[in-house]
Amino acid sequence: MREVVAIVTGASSGIGAAVVRRLRADGAEVVAAGRRGDLLDALAAECGARPVLCDVRDERDVQALVQRANSLGPPLGILVNAAGIVCNDDVGTIDTATWNDVMDTNLCGTMRVCRAAIPLLQRAGNGSIVNVASVAAFNGSEGMATYSASKAGVVALTRSIANRYGPFGVRANCLCPGWVRTPMSEAEVRQMAVERSVREEEVWKSLSGQIGLGRIGTSEEIAACVRFLASDESSFVSGAVLVADGAARTPARTRAF
């Protein structure tokens, strides 16, 4: 990978942290942004990333994040938006405050970071944006109304960026993971287990049975997909949506039980 600075949001844990490790292993200077300072510091000690506390809902935090990346010397060449939260609701039960918080984090947060970083990516002349959405953007699953809507917005936003800023050398792609074992998905499974009065491992087993490959994905596998989309190996790929779900969307069912 060429000498560049990369920004990764949602880097405190899960997919974001795995992306930071992967890009650092490839030689990129990585600014790891998140809301958990303790986890960011531990990640920095492990792999040499530059930790920055950042809430993507806060415009001042976002501006400070991009300024930090710009101060490091090499050009900002990679932006990975992995910050996100999840909730369980349906249209008839949506709480407005929750809807606003999920949208502000998942969709508006992605927009804010892209908006702040695009001038620097244009200046580099070879910038790559990878926005992490979800297969929920396409699956109208029960209990996923707000989350699905936010992730569908991320897909549409990414395609708009690709179209508008392609002439300036900026590529934008969207990665849509399925079930990946992360702290966020583990919290989902705990809730599902309580609702169904079963053990958590029974939920994981049921979910695995609905995936073509017969297993849950890992953060490292998703990070490998991000690395491809961020690198020059995908130099003619822009406006694309890469689904990494182990063939979970082939059957009709997408939720446990």
- Written as one letter, the residue type at 250 is T
pLDDT of residue 255: 53
Q: How far is 135 from 151, CA to CA, in rounded Å?
A: 8
Instruction: Give me the chain's average pLDDT, please.
Output: 94
Statement: the pTM of the whole predicted model exceeds 0.85: yes
Query: Catalytic: 147?
Result: yes
Residue-wise pLDDT for 162-173, tens only, equals 999 999 999 999
Q: How far is 134 from 152, CA to CA, in rounded Å?
A: 8
In contact, 150 and 107? CB cutoff 8 Å: yes
Q: What is the mean pLDDT of residues 74-95?
A: 95
Q: Quick check: 32 pLDDT over 90?
A: yes
Q: Which residues of 112-122 are buried (b: 16+ CB within 10 A; e: fewer)?
A: bbbebbbebbb
Give percent of the chain with pLDDT exceeding 90.
84
Residue-wise pLDDT for 203-242, tens only, equals 999 999 999 999 999 999 999 999 999 999 999 999 999 9
Residue-wise pLDDT for 118-162, tens only, equals 999 999 888 999 999 999 999 878 889 999 999 999 999 999 999
pLDDT of residue 136: 94
pLDDT of residue 252: 47
Instruction: Catalytic residue, from 138, 147, 165, 179: name it.
Output: 147
| Residue 251 banded pLDDT, cuts 50, 70, 90 | low
CA-CA distances (angstroms) from residue 137 to 26, 59, 66, 177, 234?
A: 30, 25, 27, 10, 23
Q: Quick check: 63 pLDDT over 90?
A: yes
Domain 5-178+218-244 has CATH 3.40.50.720: yes
| Residue 192 banded pLDDT, cuts 50, 70, 90 | confident
